[in-house]
Amino acid sequence: MDNSPSLSPQEADRLYSTVARLMTREHWDTHFRDDIAAILRLKKERNAVILAHNYQTPEIFHCISDIQGDSLALARKAQGLEADVILMAGVHFMAETVKLLNPDKTVLISDPKAGCSLAESITAENVRALKAQHPGVPVVTYVNSSAEVKAETDICCTSGNAKRVMKHAAEQAGTDSVIMIPDEFLAANISKETGIKAITWPGHCEVHEQFTPRQIKQYRVMHPGVVVVAHPECPPPVIEAADFSGSTADMINFIAQEKPEKALLVTECSMSDNLAQLNPGTEFVRPCNLCPHMKRITLKGIRHALETMQTPVTIPPHLAEKARASVERMLAV
């Protein structure tokens, strides 16, 4: 396999233009151009597609990925892909979800240590104990979870469909409550919207739990008129202090539609970078917090993964069927 990088000047100009608001051409040429060229060629040679979560850095998000989105969109679009290889530029649970939906394809993640504090907060045994404590109450599990936890689940949800799924699960079971795990804040925020009681688990996103309503108040003073958009993994008082809350895709759509002069995205930092490129009329003010797991995914890592076909995601067969069913039930709602 020939790995010597090359991009035509026209192609390099076009690719750079997708991140031109965020970095200089010199920076792009020096740090990214060779790896981008190699990755684009490797994608063709391997018949591979790259899925990128909205928290990926701009050079991954804009320059090499084929499909971008929130967890829900990535799971949906991962179905029925023609490619032989799917590389997930995102964290491990996202790659695992893609593998569940594509058991016969090679699904790669460039750094299998790219975890998630939510996924790591709960085990299958914990879920079995919750079910024993609350017989007959359906289990709704956030996709930010392991396959073994999904296998103990009635139906999965993402931040993009949590409201719908919560209502559906309670309706199907004929209950006024659901077990909603592992994100305590997401469960509380969605329960407030639906009026359905949530039995929760004390899992938190280490990125979103750090935001406070005080920070938002301070930013409103510093930037009068700023529109505050928060991810539902934030603590409920932060959501109350925001103007809008939704999944990363909902946040993107909200900014595109509302076109605020100034916006504060209460979420991971790369969202503001990626959106600044797409929404030149909006000034994005901080704070933001970095997700250390998402940041394990780099261009160099992706290039290496496609060169070596490492690391393929595997799911023990005894878990895969049940875990897949909980994801498929979600996609059917």
269 assigned to a ligand binding site: no
The nearest distance, CB 231 to ligand SF4, in angstroms, is 8
Annotated ligand binding at 116? The verdict is yes
Window 168-227: residues binding ligand SF4 (CB under 6 A) = 205-207
Are the beta carbons of 225 and 218 closer than 8 angstroms? no
- In the chain, what's the furthest Cα-to-Cα distance? 63
List the single partner that 117 binds among ligand SF4, ligand 13P, none, CB under 5 to 8 Å by kind: ligand SF4
Q: CB 160 → ligand 13P: shortest distance, Å?
A: 6
The one among 38, 39, 91, 100 contacting ligand SF4 by CB under 6 A: 91
71 in contact with ligand 13P (CB under 6 A): yes
Identity of the residue, 159 or 277, whose beta carbon is nearer to ligand SF4 in the bound complex: 159
Task: Tell me if 116 contacts ligand SF4 by CB under 6 A.
Answer: yes
CB 266 within 8 A of CB 274: no
70 binds, among ligand SF4, ligand 13P, none (CB under 5 to 8 A by kind): ligand 13P
155-157 vs 197-200, strand pairing mode: unpaired
Question: Does the annotation flag 209 for ligand binding?
Answer: no
Radius of gyration of the chain (CA): 20
Range 263-300 burial, b when 16+ CB lie within 10 A, else e: bbbbbbbbbbbbbbbebeebebbebbbebebbbbbbbe
Q: For ligand 13P, which residue of 117, 200, 245, 248 counts as binding (CB under 6 A)?
A: 248
If one asks whether residue 88 binds ligand SF4 (CB under 6 A), the answer comes out as no
Q: Please work out, in degrees rounded to the nearest 5, the angle formed at the alpha carbon of residue 110 by the alpha carbons of 104 and 115.
A: 95
| Sole window of 59-67, 164-172, 289-297, 319-327 interacting with ligand SF4 (rule: CB under 6 A) | 289-297
Amino acid identity of residue 198, one-letter, is A
Beta carbon of residue 205, minimum distance to ligand SF4 (angstroms, whole number): 3
**Cα–Cα distance between 61 and 56 in angstroms, integer?**
6
The shares of helix, strand and coil residues in the chain, as percent rounded to the nearest 5, are: 50, 15, 35
Q: Of 68, 159, 245, 274, which one interacts with ligand 13P (CB under 6 A)?
A: 159
- Token pair belonging to 73: 């969109």
Task: Determine which residue in the list 293, 303, 324, 329 makes contact with ligand SF4, applying CB under 6 A.
Answer: 293
Within 8 A by CB and 6+ apart from 315, the residues are: 96, 99, 100, 103, 147, 323
Which of ligand 13P, ligand SF4, none does residue 247 bind (CB under 5 to 8 Å by kind)? ligand 13P
Secondary structure element (H or E) that encloses residue 264, with its range: strand 262-266
- Residues lying near ligand SF4 in the complex (CB under 6 A) are found at 91, 116-118, 144, 205-207, 233, 268, 291, 293-294
Mark the binding-site residues for iminosuccinate, compressed into ranges: 53, 71, 142-144, 159, 231-233, 248
Site residues for ligand 13P per CB under 6 A: 54, 70-72, 144, 158-160, 205, 231, 233, 247-248
